[in-house]
């Protein structure tokens, strides 16, 4: 794999937090995405260890799912740093609308943060001594962005492309278009000159053609039967919550599928509301058999 420049450091995080990309050059310092709220002290420690006495000048968020912006607040409290967010999310952040920002919809949390500016498709950022093109990447999230450096041939893809897939296509859960947008993003990535992709989750990778083939096949699979996307979403959201809180009762999970909008939409696509308990038991059973969770009586725990 082509080596990244010394001005870039990738923090590969566990799945509760997104990866972070730290830039440090003569022009300044910046971090792209900041992980989940419960891991914010770890994010801060990683930044402090790498920057030493230097200040963090800037936070850049590819999108505002809780696992990508949960460290914003603590970093802002520690450093007098600017923060750039997708322009289409500015109103929701200004009003701190947790429904529009999907935190409440997914049963997740994020400490309130501010922003100093916005970015959108077509903008250019100077990070680590190089120019980065901002590219729209709707599909997983309608507001999501990617960063591409033509000079380095590096793409920060967030959740639009992983080595073995992509993030949940959330808009489709509530009847909005997302599959078509994700396919367009994959087609866009295929036109870029890239040697390395830094995904939102998982290790950076260089076999871009393979990753695009895997992602395209998975998208075909999900699009052929939208219930598959709903089932995947419900599994992902349950596992994510358990990774955060470590254990919950089956009753608590059933309650979450009633109150958390995205979970409710996924569950509604899979079974009538009167069969919610049975559905959750089935999903948890599949997760347990796959080794993602453990089930002990009425208690479900993270594996």
Measure the CA–CA gap between 115 and 124, rounded to whole angstroms.
Answer: 18
pLDDT for res 1: 54
> DSSP 3-state assignment of 268?
helix
Q: What is the pLDDT of residues 159-202, one digit of tens each?
A: 999 999 999 999 999 999 999 999 999 999 999 999 999 999 99
**Can you give the pTM of this predicted structure?**
0.97
66 confidence band (pLDDT: 50, 70, 90): very high
Do residues 238 and 146 touch, judged by C-beta distance below 8 A?
no
Measure the CA–CA gap between 286 and 292, rounded to whole angstroms.
Answer: 9
pLDDT for res 108: 97
Q: What is the pLDDT of residues 243-262, one digit of tens each?
A: 999 999 999 999 999 999 99
């Amino acid at each position: 794999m082509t080596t990244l420049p010394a001005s870039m450091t990738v923090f590969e995080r566990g799945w509760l937090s997104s990866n972070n990309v730290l830039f440090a050059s003569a022009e300044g310092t910046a971090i792209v995405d900041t992980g989940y709220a419960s891991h914010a002290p770890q994010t801060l420690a990683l930044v402090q260890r790498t920057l030493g006495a230097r200040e963090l000048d800037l936070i850049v968020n590819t999108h505002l799912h809780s696992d990508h912006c949960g460290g914003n607040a603590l970093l802002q409290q520690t450093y007098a740093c600017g923060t750039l967010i997708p322009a289409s999310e500015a109103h929701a952040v200004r009003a701190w609308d947790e429904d529009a920002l999907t935190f409440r919809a997914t049963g997740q949390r994020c400490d309130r943060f501010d922003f100093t500016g916005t970015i959108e498709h077509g903008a250019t950022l100077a990070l680590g001594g190089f120019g980065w093109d901002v590219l729209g990447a709707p599909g997983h999230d309608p507001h999501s962005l990617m960063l591409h450096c033509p000079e380095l041939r590096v793409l920060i893809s967030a959740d639009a492309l992983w080595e073995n897939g992509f993030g949940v296509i959330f808009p489709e859960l509530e009847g909005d278009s997302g599959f078509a947008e994700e396919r367009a993003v994959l087609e866009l990535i295929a036109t870029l000159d890239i040697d390395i992709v830094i995904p939102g989750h998982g290790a950076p990778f260089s076999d871009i053609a393979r990753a695009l083939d895997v992602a395209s096949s998975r998208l075909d699979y999900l699009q052929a039967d939208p219930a598959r996307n709903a089932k995947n979403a419900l599994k992902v959201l349950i596992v994510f919550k358990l990774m955060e809180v470590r254990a919950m009762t089956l009753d608590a999970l059933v309650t979450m599928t009633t109150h958390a909008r995205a979970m409710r939409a996924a569950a509604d696509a899979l079974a009538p509301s009167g069969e919610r308990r049975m559905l959750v038991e089935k999903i948890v059973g599949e997760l347990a058999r796959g080794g993602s969770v453990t089930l002990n009586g009425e208690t479900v725990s993270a594996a």
